[in-house]
Structure 1
Amino acid sequence: MTTIRQDDLIQSIVDALQYISYYHPVDYIQALTKAWEREASVAAKDAMAQILVNSRMCAEGHRPICQDTGMVVAFINVGMEVRWDTRMSLEEMVNEGVRQAYNHPDNVLRASVVRDPAGERINTRDNTPAVIHTRLVPGDKVEIKLAAKGGGSENKSRFTVLNPSGSLVDWVLDVMPTLGAGWCPPGMLGIGIGGSAEKAMLLAKESLMEPIDIHELQARGPANRTEELRLELFEKVNALGIGAQGLGGLTTVLDVKISDYPTHAASLPVALIPNCAATRHIEFTLDGSGPAELQPPGPEDWPEVTWEASAGAHRVDLDSITKEQIASWKPGDRILLSGKLLTGRDAAHKRIQGLLSKGEPLPDGVDFNGRFIYYVGPVDPVGDEVVGPAGPTTATRMDKFTDMMLGDTGLIGMVGKAERGPAARESIKQHGAVYLMAVGGAAYLVAKAVRSSRIVTFEDLGMEAIRELEVKDMPVTVAVDSRGESVHESGPAEWKITIGKM
């Protein structure tokens, strides 16, 4: 009979979460490399190159692929013959592993979990608790699947109950364009079919733990209806032309995973959950011999891809930028930012809104007039870093604050990821402002452009505090110009037509 020791399980959780913070799964690297090689869209190819270079840098530096180091999800199969040498419950052991992993001094991970979610939303500071799903199964081992799921992709989860005669394919194709680019494509789609509402969501989530193998399936052909659906959706979703980072291109998804379960005769529950470019998951088995041994990928697993700013990129001084300069920019233009910009996310915007609504001044040192804001919540620095990985968060969440910021604070530019909604684009047009997009999934690469960082105010918000960053040649793309025109609309529309002709 196998005995699993408390310290072995905790250490395995720590090691696994650290591992997936800086190592992409090799199958993802290989699939993204193939997509990069065949990509015909210049903007999408550039975005994928940044993701691949960032991936290699993170593996070498043992720093997070993305600043959003995710909420931990664990699927645990416990053999019924297993004995435990522990003073803690299984849930307590997993959460202790999460706590230690996210506070590891050599590679601090961002704590994103908040308690009292419908109230004060207080950060737990150690990313606990994890979301844990446990099964009792035959055997004498413990099998664990771990994922660190980022908020940008998790927020794009969708669920519906179709009529039994309804078309799952049509529903997915209707839903995908509504997801925008906040889930940081190219990634994977996990689809759960059947069971009940909660079962379909679990099926979709766990399917994302499977390896990318769509090309092998294409080569051998489908053996059942589920595999037929995978191939059909893979082709048709990519034909939408959404592309890497929503910029338009040949590849939106690298694989489509489908899991199903028997369901009620009157129902067809369907769940869809996307996985982002910072795909993070791992599986290991404990057999009583000690902590899990995790084999790191080798240097040969990354392609010989380099990235440098294109010759046509405009260098911009943020400390002297004017609206007249901004007015000449067009969607898709490459920009290299240098100078100082402020940061702020949801919580900071909400506080600013509260102050302005009461007629109170902004805190000392907070002056947005003629300046840019970067939507980011960076990882804490380690060693001699100025700032930890500092990629963009989804700008769409700040849409409801955009008119306030542009109209009441004098802000003229914003930097984030994903598209902006109609109201935000109209406000940008009205105020002659601009929205720039940084690549989601290239957080360590972006952080290398940061020369200094200091907290200005709202320090109690942790990673959501307002900071002032000084950057040098930070790479961004004009996503919405001063006329309100969006590359996230024009790019996919153009590539959908191009792919249709192909």
Structure 2
Amino acid sequence: MTRDLVFIRGEDITETVRAGLQFVACYHPADYLEHLIAAWHREESPAAKNAISQILTSSRMAALGRRPICQDTGMAVIFAKVGQQVVIDSAHSLADLINEGVRRAYLDADNPLRASLVSDAIFARKNTRDNTPAVIHVDLVPGRTLDLTIAAKGGGSENKTRFAVLNPEQSVADWVVDQVRTLGAGWCPPGMISVGVGGSSEKAMLIAKEALNEPIDMGEIIARGPQDETEALRLELYQRINALGIGAQGLGGLTTVVDVKVSSFPTHAASKPVALIPQCAANRHVHLALDGSGPAYAEVPDLNAWPEIAGDDTAGARRVDLDRLTREEMASWKVGETLLLNGRMLTGRDAAHARMKKMQGLGEPLPFSLKDRVIYYVGPVDPVGAEVVGPAGPTTATRMDPYTDMVLDQGLLSMVGKAERGEATIAAIARHHATYLIAVGGAAFLVSKAIREARVVAFADLGMEAVYEFTVRDMPVLVAVDSEGNSIHRLGPQAWARPAMRPSAKV
């Protein structure tokens, strides 16, 4: 009957999505923050502990300043549970209402979020400029509310998604651990791993993605012990993954994941589809429910939730003048050493490197020189107010591996990014007596404070992928590959890997 229906205004849906995406851009979920703080307290690896401390410091700064946790403000992913007694009071579709909320969130003048989506994924790959459209999943359920789980998924972690169809007798746990071992650090640990098993290929992916938004409860499971087979599998995976020694940012350490989620669905007797989706250290999501009374808003977290991080982990670090840097100076850098960069550096990531390669193939000169320069793999958020640049953390360097010989041949001295480099790239770095440095992924707001000047020098049409020149002061980085080809992403996990308990039966 009509009196049993709940009418929800379309504008309230749009405003809820807008506010939700702005919220998740700036605030870590309380449960993730709690588990990350616990990981920081128990971490024994100095490099990993420093990385987590930078993430926590940057997180508090982002919350105080209401600015993005990470420069990759993600693809909007919305799970909508529509109560069957709900009437959406609008001439627009639910998708249109949600996408308008996304548009407003990413174009917010007070806190613009980085537009990362490109349309025509196969050919033109042109930036949509407002981060629409969102990926939307809708379920009709009993009830009188519209429940929205609003998430922002970064490219670094999304690119590490894995899928396989196992034989029914094969071990899910063994497959997951084998996959995580090969993921590298581009997904920005410490984070989460979610596993979906069953259904069809798309269903396994879907239930894995949705499970990422469930509350983090691994601490509770460890304290009381698993209560069913699924919890036992989750605990096993948590222990075995952390025993790999990958650690924060892949530097080697005790904590690679703070939780592992497992979700299952009935499947064909001949099949065992398994999806694995990592979640990065940003871990952005919020659950909001509309009941017809107006928009729904998330509660801003208590700033006392963040720990006081005493001391300066960069005290005594070597200061580097980028404007006078030489290969002879770089030869003295040791893998794992912390540096403070000062002076001018170029930026450039995927699209910029692709354009450089195209220009080189056509015999066209570049509009800038790479000789004796350092390049930072970054796509910053637009600045607001007095900011020189918005949050500007590193992007995954591995994607630039195919271009490394090209830029090193032009005299480039060093590169700054996040995550490991491939073996061929490491060999090229050593051959050119160059280096590779890493900034902490997930500490974008903290990193941006070291940038004192920024100007676009080329490829302005690429938006956030344009080439900038940054002037930096005491920007903290770590030597990930030295001029002899030693790699911390190989040495660190080797040093921190440890045995893990294995079950007697396959699950």
- TM-score (normalised: structure 1): 0.98
> 2:500 and 2:207 mapped to 1: Cα distance?
31
Aligned counterpart, 1:391: 393
Alignment of 1:85-234 (within 5 A): 85-234=89-238
The letter of the residue matching 1:394 is: T
| 1:219 to 1:309, Cα distance in 2 relative to 1, 3 A | closer
**Match of residue 249 from structure 1:** 253
Match of 1:319, SS?
Answer: helix
Aligned to 2:25: 21
Cα distance in structure 2, aligned partners of 1:313 and 1:174: 36
Per-residue deviation at 1:51?
Answer: 0.3
Corresponding letter in the other structure for 2:373: R
TM-superposed CA distance for 1:158, in Å, is 0.3
How many Å apart are 1:140 and its aligned residue? 1.4
**Number of the residue aligned with 1:401:** 403
Q: CA RMSD in A?
A: 1.0
1:250/1:499 contact within 8 Å kept: no
Contact 2:240/2:500 (<8 A) preserved: no
Alpha-carbon displacement from aligned partner over 1:237-273 (angstroms, at most 9, x marks no partner): 0000000000000000000011110111111111000
Q: Is the 8 A contact 1:95 1:129 kept in 2?
A: yes
The partner residue of 2:71 within 45, 67, 70 is: 67
Q: Check whether the contact 2:286–2:298 (CA below 8 A) recurs between aligned residues.
A: no
Residues 1:179 and 1:433: Cα distance change in structure 2 (over 3 Å): same
Corresponding residue for 2:83?
Answer: 79
The one-letter amino acid paired with 2:384 is V
Q: Partner of 1:378 in structure 2?
A: 380
3-state SS in 2 of match to 1:428:
helix
In structure 2, how many angstroms separate the alpha carbons of the residues matched to 1:271 and 1:306? Answer: 40
* In 2: Cα distance, 1:153 partner to 1:306 partner: 30
Q: Could you tell me whether the CA contact under 8 Å between 1:241 and 1:499 is conserved in 2?
A: no
Q: Which deviates the most, 341-350 or 290-299?
A: 290-299
For residues 212 and 138 of structure 1, the distance between their equivalents in structure 2, rounded to whole angstroms, comes to 26
Q: Which whole-Å deviations, capped at 9, do the CAs of 1:427-478 have from their partners, x for residues lacking one?
A: 0011000000000000000000000000001000000000000000000000
What is the alpha-carbon distance in structure 2 between the residues aligned to residue 43 and residue 209 of structure 1? 29
- C-alpha contact (below 8 Å) 2:314/2:476 kept by paired residues: no
Structure 2 unaligned regions, length at least 5:
502-507
2:442 aligned counterpart, secondary structure: coil
Match of 2:444 in 1: 443
Could you tell me how far apart the structure 2 residues matched to 1:270 and 1:403 are? Answer: 37
> Structure 2 vs 1, CA of residues 497 and 218 (structure 1 numbering), >3 Å: closer, same or farther?
closer
Q: In the aligned structure 2, how far is the partner of 1:241 from the partner of 1:307?
A: 26
Aligned-partner Cα distance in 2 for 1:229–1:306: 37
Partner of 1:53: 57
What amino acid is aligned across from residue 416 of structure 1 in structure 2?
A: G
Q: 1:467 is matched with which residue?
A: 468
TM-fit CA distance, 1:486? 0.4
How far apart are 1:83 and its partner, in Å? 1.2
How far is the alpha carbon of 1:194 from its aligned partner?
0.6
Identity %: 61
Structural mapping, 1:267-346, within 5 Å: 267-306=271-310, 308-346=312-350
Equivalent residues of 2:243, 2:499 under 8 A apart: no
Q: Which residue does 2:266 correspond to in 1?
A: 262
What code does the residue aligned with 2:36 have?
A: L
- SS for the counterpart of 2:366 is coil
Residue 308 of structure 1, CA deviation: 2.7
Point out where structure 1 has 5 or more consecutive residues left out of the alignment.
Answer: none
1:354-392, Cα deviation, whole Å (9 max, x unpaired) = 1111211112xx111001000000000000000000000
Deviates more, 1:220-229 or 1:423-432: 220-229
- Secondary structure, counterpart of 1:184 in structure 2: coil
Classify the secondary structure of the residue corresponding to 2:341.
strand
Q: Distance in 2 between matches of 1:499 and 1:138?
A: 44
1:495 Cα deviation from its structure 2 partner = 0.4
Quickly say closer, same or farther: Cα 1:299–1:7, change in 2 above 3 A. same
- Partner SS, residue 149 of structure 2: strand
- The corresponding residue for 1:418 is 419
Counterpart of 1:405, as a letter, is V
Which letter maps to 1:248? G
Runs of 4+ in 1 over 3 A off after TM superposition: 497-500
Name the structure 1 match of 2:9. Answer: 5
Q: Does 1:453 align with 2:454?
A: yes
